[in-house]
Chains A and B, each alone.
Chain A
Amino acid sequence: MIYLDNAATSWPKAPGVAEAITRFLTDVGANPGRSGHRLSIEAARMVSTVRELTAGLFGAPDPLRVVFTLNVTHAINVALHGLLRPGDHVVTSSVEHNSMIRPLNTLGQAGISFTAVPCASDGSLDPADIEAAITPATVMIALTHASNVLGTLLPSADIGAIARKRGLLFLLDAASTAGCVPIDMPADKIDLLAFTGHKALLGPTGTGGLVIGERVDPARIMPVFQGGTGSRSATETQPPFLPDLLECGTLNTTGLAGLGAALAWITAAGINRIQTTCRAHTRLLLERLHAVPGVGVYGPRNPRLQTATVSFNIKGMSPSQAGQLLDERFGILCRVGLHCAPRAHVTAGSFPQGTIRFSPGIFTTHDDITTAVDAVACLSREACCE
């Protein structure tokens, strides 16, 4: 079996993740921040370590501004619903995941508008087009760091600079880049960083967060959820301080224990080394696919301009049929069809049939990739002869 669906969720996870989860459940288990006994303290210490590691990975100076959520979708919703008010306008791109576009569309009913700036068909985005879409009502630029369909990296640092210059907040959806592309919140001028723990961060599902930059005043954020935090228990209103303002209800401590192990592994391995490995995977995958007759590859087709996510189609075969054959006949697991980002497929010209998406991960081997592309070549030959 060859797993090439790391853009959906990474697998296998980082070494030590499963053990950390087991250890937490077996030896600790208690609720952090709710009690003063030793196991509650140990749980709180574990969560705190994960906060510190997260802040460290993204260059965030204050770990108390790391708010844990269940995934990036949850984090994006916390940011958009929490900060936008009627009359506000948001600038975004045409390759966003539904996790960005759906909340923005829902907010449309509350008088909040957005402009999705068109990307080129390879997903690339000209920062000047973002700047041109800014209106007097614009308060935020909200963008994915990379297309989850095409892999294309968007020029986040340039756009962060534009946001800063124009006095706007910059929200970055780092779902597909956190853990495999260097991210430095202060340098890239990111005010709100939404991440998910289960993709390139190599942690378990049910983990993620929103890192809130220094320019965002917590008093401006309306919490989407309110409830128990273990703090200010005598009052019936939400505490005003971070992280409790946005972190209520018992945390996914089990998942965070695993995420902590993953972050420690990534920090030790080094993001730059991980990025180099992923680029090598991308280069090999692109070279091999390019050589297969009947295969058309979408996206920038350049390992420096994209993540290790490659979308393609086989002439004469639907993506869904290809996906089924790759799994059943070759044991190759990937995602096919529309990848929760309809506008990205429209941008690339792959709507509505979608694409076949191969997404190797850090643990994918050279052989995995060549074997998978051989299988694609086999299917392509059959499709053209039938």
Chain B
Amino acid sequence: MSEQFVILFPTSAHVMRAEKLLKDAGLSCRLIPVPRQLSSDCGICLIVLQEEAETACALLKDRRVDFDTVAAIPAQ
């Protein structure tokens, strides 16, 4: 089972911005409630494919969208 990457954000505005940037860049990403084992205040986060995680993070950094931590979780 391949792992997926969870990206956490400080606030929902950043989640939404990130979702749009990643989708516009053709990366696959999904908005999900923050998984139980993690914690984030805004309650939502993005999940990306493991193989695209690096590209996704680089893009977000480049566009200056803050993200808190990236955690790998087993795909459901």
A contact set with B: CB distance below 8 Å: 32-37, 40-41, 44-45, 47-48, 51-52, 62-64, 229-234, 239, 241, 243-244
Interface pair B16/A234, CB less than 8 Å apart: no
Q: Which residues of B contact A34 (CB under 8 A)?
A: 43
With A37-B33, A41-B44, A64-B13 known, 6 other A-B pairs at CB within 8 A are A37-B43, A47-B13, A64-B17, A241-B11, A244-B11, A244-B13
Whether the Cβ atoms of B16 and A231 lie closer than 8 Å is no
A51 touches B13 (CB 8 A): yes
**CB-based contact B13/A40 at 8 Å:** no
Instruction: Tell me, in angstroms, the Cα distance from A45 to B17 when the chains sit together.
Output: 9
Q: Which residue of A lies closest to B45 (CB)?
A: A36
**A62 touching B64, Cβ below 8 Å:** yes
B11 and A45 within 8 A (CB)? no
Contact with A32, one of B12, B14, B20, B63 (Cβ below 8 angstroms): B12
B73 CB → nearest A CB, Å: 16
Q: Which residues of A contact B41 (CB under 8 A)?
A: 230-234
Q: Which residues of A contact B17 (CB under 8 A)?
A: 48, 51, 63-64
What is the count of residue pairs linking A and B with beta-carbon distances less than 8 angstroms? 67
A64 to B16, CA, bound (A): 10
| B11, B34, B43, B63: most-surrounded residue (chain A CB, <10 A) | B11
A14 vs B43: C-alpha distance when bound (angstroms): 34
Contact B31 A231 (CB under 8 A): no
In the complex, chain A residues whose CB is within 8 Å of the CB of B16: 44-45, 47-48, 51
- Interface of B toward A, CB cutoff 8 Å: 10-17, 20, 31, 33-34, 41-44, 63-66
B20 touches A36 (CB 8 A): no
Instruction: Report chain A residues within 8 Å CB of B43.
Output: 34-37, 40
> Are A36 and B11 closer than 8 Å at their CB atoms?
no
In chain B, what residue has the closest Cβ to A244? B11
> Chain B residues near A243 (CB, 8 Å)?
11, 13
Distance in angstroms from A24 CB to nearest chain B CB is 16
Chain B CB count within 10 A is highest, among A34, A48, A232, for: A48
26 CB contacts below 8 A, A to B, read A32-B12, A33-B42, A35-B43, A36-B33, A37-B33, A37-B43, A41-B31, A41-B44, A44-B13, A44-B16, A47-B13, A47-B16, A48-B13, A51-B16, A62-B64, A63-B17, A229-B11, A230-B11, A230-B12, A230-B41, A231-B11, A232-B41, A241-B11, A243-B11, A243-B13, A244-B10
Closest beta carbon of chain A to B36's beta carbon, Å: 11
Query: From B9, which residue of chain A is reached at the shortest CB distance?
Result: A231
By CB atoms of chain B within 10 A, which of A62, A231, A239 has the most?
Answer: A231
Q: Is the CB of B34 within 8 A of A44?
A: no
| CA of A47 to CA of B19, assembled, Å | 14
Rounded to whole angstroms, the CA-CA distance of A64 and B13 in the bound complex is: 7
For residue B66, give the distance in angstroms from its CB to the closest CB of chain A.
6
CA distance A107 to B14 in the complex (A): 33
**A53–B20 Cα gap in the complex (Å)?**
13
